[in-house]
Amino acid sequence: MKRLLLLTTGGTIASIEGKDGLAPGMTAADLFNYLPHTRDYHMEYQTLMNIDSTNMQPELWVQIAETIANNYDHYDGFVVTHGTDTMAYTSAALSYMLQNGTKPIVITGSQVPIHYDKTDAKKNIADAARLACEAIAGVYVVFDGRVIQGTRAVKMRTKSYDAFESINHPYVAFIDRGEVRYHQGVPSMEKGELKLDTSLCPDVFLLKLYPGMKPELLDRIKGLYQSVIIESYGNGGIPFEKRDLLSKIKELIDSGMVVAITTQCLEEGEDLFLYEVGRKVAQNLIILSRDMNTEAMVAKLMWTLGKTKDLQEVKRIMETPIAHDLSLEHQKESG
Ligand SMILES: NC(=O)C[C@H](N)C(=O)O
């Protein structure tokens, strides 16, 4: 019989109606009571926090990661319940902070509170516990029967049950009536000891580009942040005519800031070298996102800056795949 640890953090799954609207109010014991009785596992539980995931912070990621690491030897798998709004950031952050493990860490939540008659919560938490019994390693999001690599989940829908998709990466598995069907075989496991690395530097600014943006904005973030991720357009270009953002970016880099370029397009990633508007940027020391999603970029950059401020080294770590967060084939194919 597997030993599982359920850690609850709040979110809609644990929410009840308060006078100001839905807010988390159920404990880990309450959620545990909704799980089906089974002989497959023995589960213990702990209420870690009780927040709407809108209130999630990098320091709380560290708390979740440390709790898992501290209990790692005592359990075979972990289920973390979490609000959906920032679940993809947390799943990515945990993927970086907890590497080289040998056990599943499964994050789930729901679109509808668990105590409602019609809810996706019961299925999601049961599926998550089911996956946590598997002999696989790493961080996964389980939602609506889909198993998604922790670095590849993106919340696509605000209300529907199929809220999450796996972006730029195959689904790991599907869970149907308690049966786990792996999509491309059981994920292979690195043999080793769990490596907990929670050094984070949250000085990461995220900027979505739009026609008409004032380049002077970037002067305001100098000193306030150590880095900026720019969600540019399409394959990844930066305007250099009229409102000249390109010169500002050069200034930022010269001042020692880390600048990363990603794209507003969810699928297929950036390809900065394709167009003049991109190649001009690429002449600078820029971090390339390849086909990483923004949630993973934010978490990875915070995690990387927690280790080094050396731009070359930051670039090396950011552009190296960790926990399947980016595919190197991606640019070979398109370039
Ligand atoms: N469905 C949800 O869980 C949304 C909620 N606002 C949260 O992220 O905590």
Half-sphere exposure of 68 (CA within 13 A, CB side): 34
Q: Are residues 226 and 160 in the same domain?
A: no
pLDDT interval class at 334 (50, 70, 90): very low
Task: Return the structure tokens found at 161.
Answer: 């049950």
Output the domain CATH number for residue 128.
3.40.50.1170
- Domain span at residue 160 reads 2-196
Overall average pLDDT of the 168-175 stretch: 97
Q: How confident is the model at residue 333 (pLDDT cuts 50, 70, 90)?
A: very low
85 assigned to a ligand binding site: yes
The verdict on 34 and 156 lying in the same domain is yes
Are 308 and 328 part of one and the same domain? yes
The CA–CA distances, whole Å, from 171 to 98, 168, 177, 196, 262 equal 21, 10, 18, 26, 22
Share of the chain above pLDDT 70, in %: 98
Question: Is there a contact between 133 and 4 (Cβ–Cβ < 8 Å)?
Answer: yes
Model confidence, pTM: 0.96
* Orientation of helix 294-305 relative to helix 87-97, angle to 10°: 40
Rounded CA separation 302/208 (Å): 18
Does 83 sit in the ligand 1 pocket, CB within 6 Å? yes
Q: Are residues 175 and 247 in the same domain?
A: no
Is 171 exposed, middle or buried (CB count within 10 Å of its CB: 0-12, 13-18, 19+)?
Answer: middle
Residues 51 and 131 grouped into a single domain = yes
Q: Catalytic site residue 198?
A: no
**Which CATH number fits the domain that encloses residue 225?**
3.40.50.40
Residue 47 annotated as part of some ligand binding site? no
* Catalytic hit among 8, 84, 108, 304: 84
**246 vs 174: CA distance, rounded Å:** 44
Residue 334 burial (CB count, 10 A) = 14
- Residue 287 sits in the same domain as residue 157: no
Say yes or no: 253 and 315 in one domain: yes
Beta-carbon contacts of residue 47 (< 8 Å; ≥ 6 apart): 8, 27, 28, 29
User: What's the ipTM?
Assistant: 0.97
Q: Which of 8, 9, 12, 47 is catalytic?
A: 12
* Number of domains into which the chain is organized: 2
In short, whether 109's Cβ falls inside 6 Å of ligand 1 is yes
Known binding residue 334? Answer is no
